[in-house]
A and B are shown apart, each in its own frame.
Chain A
Amino acid sequence: MSKKTDSSDSIILRDHTYDGIEEYDQKLPNWWLFTLYITMVWFVFAWVAYYQLPIDIPDDFEKLEGQIAVIEEKKQAELNKMMASINDESLMEMSTDTSHTAAGQAIFETKCAACHGLDLSATMAGVALPGVSLTDEEWLYGNKPLDIMKIVTNGSPDVTKGMIAWSSQLSGSEIAQVVAYILRKQSS
Chain B
Amino acid sequence: MTSDSGTSRKVTIEFDDKITRWFMIASIGWSVVAMLVGALIAFQLNFWQMNGKFLEWITFGLFQSEGVEYLTFGRLRPLHTNAAIFAFVGNMMFCGVYYSTQRLCKTRMFSDMLSKIHFWGWQLIIVFAAVTLPAGLTRGKEYAELIWPINIMVAVIWLVFGANFFLTLKIRREKSLYVALWFYIATIITVTMLYVVNHLQIPTSLTHSYPVFAGVQDALVQWWYGHNAVAFFLTTPILGIMYYFLPKACGRPVYSYRLSIVHFWSLVFIYIWAGPHHLLNTALPKWLQVLGMFFSLMLWAPSWGGMLNGLLTLRGAWDKLRTDPVIKFFVASITFYGMSTFEGPLLSIRSVSALAHYTDWIVGHVHSGTLGWNGFMAAAMFYWMAPKLWGKPLWSKSLANMHFWIGLVGILLYVASLWFAGIIQGLMLNETDPTGTRLVNEFVQTVDKIQLLMLTRAIGGTLYLIGFVLLVVNIWKTAKSGSPVNETREVFEEIDSDKDKMTWKAAFQNDPIALTFWGLFFGILWFFLPPGASHMALLCTLGFSAYAVYRFKQNSEGWSKWYDQLSENYLPFSVLVLIAAALGGIIQIVPTITVNRAVNIEDRLQSVYTPLELAGRDVYISEGCYNCHSQMIRTLVPDVLRYGDYSRLGESIYDHPFQWGSKRTGPDLAREGGMRGDSWHYLHMLDPRSINQQSRMPNYPWLFTKKTDFKSLPGKIAVQQRLGVPFPIMTPEEIEQHAREQALEIAQGLVDEEVKIVPEKGVDEPGSPAEARDHLAGKQIIALIAYLQKLGSYEDVVPKDADPIEPRIFKPGIPDKLRMNEDSEEEVTDSEEGATTPVAQNP
A68 & B294 in contact (Cβ 8 Å cutoff): no
**B632 contacts partner chain A, Cβ-Cβ < 8 Å:** no
**A93 contacts partner chain B, Cβ-Cβ < 8 Å:** no
Assuming A161-B677, A168-B840, is B534 touching A39 (CB within 8 A)?
A: no
Minimal beta-carbon separation of B593 from chain A (angstroms): 21
Most buried by B among A60, A64, A127: A64
Assuming A47-B290, A69-B836, A115-B680, is B253 touching A21 (CB within 8 A)?
A: yes
Q: Hey, which chain B residues are within 8 Å of A74, CB to CB? A: 435-437
A91 to B259, CA, bound (A): 75
Instruction: For B836, give the chain A residue with the smallest CB separation.
Output: A65
A83 to B260, CA, bound (A): 70
**A128 contacts partner chain B, Cβ-Cβ < 8 Å:** yes
Secondary structure at the B interface, as helix, strand, loop or mixed, is helix
Proximity string of chain B (150-186) to chain A, C-beta cutoff 8 Å, 1 when within and 0 when not: 0000000000000000000000001010110000000
**B248 contacts partner chain A, Cβ-Cβ < 8 Å:** yes
Assuming A21-B248, A47-B294, is B253 touching A66 (CB within 8 A)?
A: no
A127's contact among B301, B436, B756, by CB below 8 Å, is which?
B756
Assuming A35-B300, A52-B534, A161-B677, is B754 touching A68 (CB within 8 A)?
A: no
Proximity string of chain A (106-142) to chain B, C-beta cutoff 8 Å, 1 when within and 0 when not: 0000110011000000001001111000000000000
A1 & B304 in contact (Cβ 8 Å cutoff): no
A130 to B752, CA, bound (A): 12
Instruction: For B785, give the chain A residue with the smallest CB separation.
Output: A160
A59 & B676 in contact (Cβ 8 Å cutoff): no
**B674 contacts partner chain A, Cβ-Cβ < 8 Å:** yes
What is the total of A-B residue contacts with beta carbons within 8 Å?
Answer: 187
**A170 contacts partner chain B, Cβ-Cβ < 8 Å:** yes
Assuming A43-B297, A160-B674, A162-B677, is B690 touching A23 (CB within 8 A)?
A: no
Q: Hey, which chain A residues are within 8 Å of B837, CB to CB? A: 69, 72
Q: Hey, which chain A residues are within 8 Å of B816, CB to CB? A: 59
Which size bracket describes the interface of A in this complex? 35 or more
Minimal beta-carbon separation of A30 from chain B (angstroms): 12
B298's contact among A22, A27, A43, A75, by CB below 8 Å, is which?
A43
A36 to B297, CA, bound (A): 9
Minimal beta-carbon separation of A89 from chain B (angstroms): 27
**B691 contacts partner chain A, Cβ-Cβ < 8 Å:** yes
A169 to B136, CA, bound (A): 36
**A10 contacts partner chain B, Cβ-Cβ < 8 Å:** no
**A46 contacts partner chain B, Cβ-Cβ < 8 Å:** yes
A159 & B675 in contact (Cβ 8 Å cutoff): yes
Proximity string of chain A (167-185) to chain B, C-beta cutoff 8 Å, 1 when within and 0 when not: 0111100000000000000
Q: Hey, which chain A residues are within 8 Å of B254, CB to CB? A: 21-24
Minimal beta-carbon separation of A117 from chain B (angstroms): 10
Instruction: For A156, give the chain B residue with the smallest CB separation.
Output: B677
B819 & A51 in contact (Cβ 8 Å cutoff): yes
Proximity string of chain B (531-544) to chain A, C-beta cutoff 8 Å, 1 when within and 0 when not: 10011001000000
A42 & B294 in contact (Cβ 8 Å cutoff): yes
Q: Hey, which chain B residues are within 8 Å of A64, CB to CB? A: 635-637, 640, 646
A39 & B646 in contact (Cβ 8 Å cutoff): no
Minimal beta-carbon separation of A47 from chain B (angstroms): 7
A68's contact among B176, B637, B674, by CB below 8 Å, is which?
B637
**A103 contacts partner chain B, Cβ-Cβ < 8 Å:** no
Proximity string of chain B (603-616) to chain A, C-beta cutoff 8 Å, 1 when within and 0 when not: 00000000000000
The 5 A-B residue pairs with the shortest CB-CB distance, nearest first, are A36-B301, A22-B253, A43-B294, A18-B178, A26-B256
A-B contact pairs, 26 of them (CB 8 A): A19-B100, A19-B103, A19-B106, A19-B178, A19-B248, A21-B178, A24-B253, A24-B254, A32-B304, A32-B305, A33-B301, A44-B538, A47-B294, A48-B538, A60-B286, A62-B831, A69-B837, A71-B637, A72-B837, A72-B839, A78-B435, A114-B692, A128-B753, A128-B756, A159-B676, A160-B676
Chain B residues with CB under 8 Å of chain A are 100, 103-104, 106, 174, 176, 178-179, 244, 247-248, 253-260, 262, 266, 281, 286-287, 290, 294-295, 297-298, 300-302, 304-305, 308, 433, 435-439, 442, 445, 526-527, 531, 534-535, 538, 557, 560-561, 564, 635-637, 640-641, 646, 674-680, 683, 690-692, 749, 753-756, 789, 815-816, 818-820, 822-823, 831, 836-837, 839-840
